[in-house]
Amino acid sequence: MKKKPGIFTIKLILLFLVAGLVFPGLFGCQSGGIFGKKTTKSERVEVNIPDYCTFVFEGRDAKGKVTFEFRSDDLFTALLEHPDRAEFFEDNEEELEELIDSVTVSLTQKSDLSNGDTIPMEVAYDEDLADELKIDFLNPGAVVAGLEEPLEYDLFDDVEVTFTGVSPYIKVKTKHDSGTPVGYYKLSTDKKYYTKGETVVLTADCDPEYILQYRYVKVERTQNEYVADSEYEYLSDVSLFKDSPELFDPIHEQMRDEMNEKLTTYEIILYDYFDMDDICGGVLFGASAVVNGQATVDSAYYLTINPENYFDYQTTQLILIYKVPISFPRCPDAGVRYVYFTAILDDVVNDDSGSVTGDFETLNTGWYNGKFEGEAYEKLIVGQLDKYQVVTVPLDDIPDFPYEVVIGSQDTEETTTEDVAEQTTTVETTLGP
């Protein structure tokens, strides 16, 4: 005979039953697992349509095209394997298949696409079945990607810039390979000449839109800036002439040689130059002319080129005019006369260290520019005012030129042998201290 449960046993059973109703988690399996909280059959499933489309983008950025395929079989399989609602969809497989078959997808744009564009999609389906199966179709659109991008190219990466000339007439020279991604193009500057430190704007003569269309190269910029530079500057401040023996000493030295040569060679001809017949009479033709005293620098001028008239072959000029006193011993009435020698130094420049120099290879000395007072000034200074700006250089800024020369006589047809013997003396040159 089976033993009946006691009152205690009955009460214990009832206690467990009550506890099971109040604390269901104490018994059986808890909800959740690897997919999180278990979804009830009443909850809806969201389907992102682009996730089940294959897009193929072809062509260039901004001119791209797209083809696509809606993978309905993949969507059907994914729903049957849904972690929360697989059992429900299996029970309603026919309805699910009918719903998937009703889905049609189309794109509103298939050409002229750019990377990053979002193409709106149109999705049609059986809405009643979707609501019955509690499926929501999401359609955020298709994002364009993978189209060919143009080559980004900086024209000036392959440009070599050099500067020639002397400030403020620095010229810009450029060199670039014609085999660049954009092909041949010309470069130009905003002006012809530049001053040291001035900004140079270099412009490439090309059409970025044309290059993008026909070469598919995106030109980043068509202008670039550089800073003009040169080792030397044309002298701009005449005060820099002061205390510049390295500039004036070579000029003075060549001028001494010039005076010796000219005065010795042409001493008799000086008689004609000064038209001495009326004063001394023809009997003195051929008499000796003797330097009387020291030659000096009479005046000095610095000529800078007017920018509007500048050409590559022109330079600055330092012009020194030397005053040389002479006399005619046989004709005291002639008094002291003066001839004028000139020295012209081109390309007078100063460098970064402040040293002043010039083109001594082309240093011109002589009296051919005007032997008499005022002639050299008229020819070399006044005659060039249309090309040059003239500044007078203070004589205090020029080192002294103490120089004295005594020249002898020369024989002529109108002098006798005795006269020649009496008049001829030794040519002597004495440099001042």
Q: Helix, strand, coil % (nearest 5) of the chain?
A: 30, 30, 40
161 and 65 in one domain? Answer: no
Tell me the C-alpha distance between 24 and 30, whole Å.
9
Task: Look at the block and give the residue holding tokens 């007072």.
Answer: 373
d(CA 404, CA 428): 9
- Shared domain check, 291 and 404: yes
Q: Are residues 284 and 419 in the same domain?
A: yes
Q: Distance (Å, rounded) from C-alpha 165 to C-alpha 299?
A: 29
| Confidence (pLDDT) at 426 | 29
Same domain for 157 and 187, yes or no, is yes
Mean pLDDT, rounded, for 33-62: 76
Domain membership of residue 22 (yes or no) is no
| Residue 12: inside a domain | no
- Looking at the structure, tell me whether residues 101 and 224 fall in a common domain: no
Does the residue 19 lie in any domain? no
For 215, the token pair is 């070469």
Where do we find the tokens 């604390």?
Answer: 23
The verdict on 58 and 126 lying in the same domain is yes
Tokens (6 digits) for 293: 């005293």
Would you place residue 239 in the very low, low, confident or very high pLDDT band (cuts 50, 70, 90)? confident
Please check whether residue 307 is in contact with residue 193, taking contact to mean a CB–CB distance below 8 angstroms: yes
Q: What residues are paired with 152 via a beta bridge?
A: 218
Question: Of 19-33, 297-311, 324-338, which range is least confident?
Answer: 19-33
Distance (Å, rounded) from C-alpha 173 to C-alpha 259? 44
Tokens of 131: 């609501």
Spatial contact of 195 and 167, defined as CB atoms under 8 Å apart: yes
In a domain, 120, yes or no: yes
Per residue in 249-277, pLDDT (tens digit) is 999 999 999 988 888 788 777 777 787 77
211 and 81 in a common domain: no
Phi, psi of 178 (to 5 degrees): -75, -15
pLDDT at position 406, please? 59
Domain range for 75: 31-143
Residues 6+ apart with CB under 8 A from 2: none
Using alpha carbons, select from 428, 256, 398, 225 the residue that is nearest to residue 341: 256
Average pLDDT, stretch 333-357? 88
- The answer to the question of residue 99 being in a domain is yes
How do residues 210-229 score in pLDDT, each as one tens digit?
Answer: 999 899 999 989 999 999 99
| Same domain membership, residue 299 and residue 416 | yes
Determine the 3-state secondary structure of 182 from DSSP: coil
**3-state class (DSSP) for residue 187:** strand
pLDDT digits (tens, 9 = 90+) for 176-207: 888 889 988 999 999 989 999 999 999 999 99
Of the candidates 56, 70, 49, the one whose C-alpha atom is nearest the C-alpha of residue 113 is: 56
Q: Which residue has the higher pLDDT, 309 or 235?
A: 235
Q: Which of 386, 247, 206, 211 is nearest to 310 (CA)?
A: 386
Q: Are residues 204 and 242 in the same domain?
A: no
pTM: 0.61
pLDDT value of position 261:
86
d(CA 339, CA 337): 7
Same domain (yes/no): 261, 285: yes
Q: What is the CA radius of gyration of the chain?
A: 52
DSSP letter assigned to residue 400: -
Residue 313 has pLDDT above 80, yes or no: no
What percentage of the chain has pLDDT greater than the value 90?
49
Most confident of 9-18, 101-110, 265-274, 382-391: 101-110
Domain finish residue from 191, 210, 230:
230
pLDDT at 371 over 90: no
Boundary of a domain, candidates 207, 230, 253: 230
Does residue 3 lie in a domain region? no
Span 56-112, pLDDT tens digits: 999 999 999 999 999 999 999 999 999 999 999 999 999 999 999 999 999 999 999
Rounded distance between C-alpha atoms, residue 193 and residue 305, angstroms: 13
Euclidean distance between CA atoms 40 and 85, whole angstroms: 8
pLDDT score recorded for residue 309: 73
In a domain, 16, yes or no: no
Give the pLDDT confidence score for residue 147 in this predicted structure.
Answer: 95
Is the pLDDT higher at 34 or at 244?
Answer: 244
Average pLDDT rounded to a whole number, residues 160-176: 92
Would the pLDDT of 19 be above 60? Answer: no
Residues 242 and 367 in one domain: yes
pLDDT bucket at 353, cuts 50 / 70 / 90: confident
CB of 205 closer than 8 Å to CB of 223: no
Domain end (from 205, 230, 255) = 230
What value does the mean pLDDT of the chain take? 81
> How many structural domains compose the chain?
3
Residue 306 has a pLDDT of 80
Cα 430 to Cα 259: distance, rounded to the nearest angstrom: 12
285 falls in which pLDDT band (50, 70, 90)? low
| pLDDT the model gives residue 418 | 37
| Residue 382 belongs to some domain of the structure | yes
pLDDT digits over 328-339, tens only? 777 888 888 888
Q: 53 forms bridges with which residues in the sheet?
A: 70
List CB contacts of 361: < 8 A, sequence separation 6 or more.
none
In this structure, the answer to whether residues 137 and 216 fall within a common structural domain is no
- Which tens digits make up the pLDDT trace of 395-426? 998 988 878 765 544 443 333 333 333 333 32
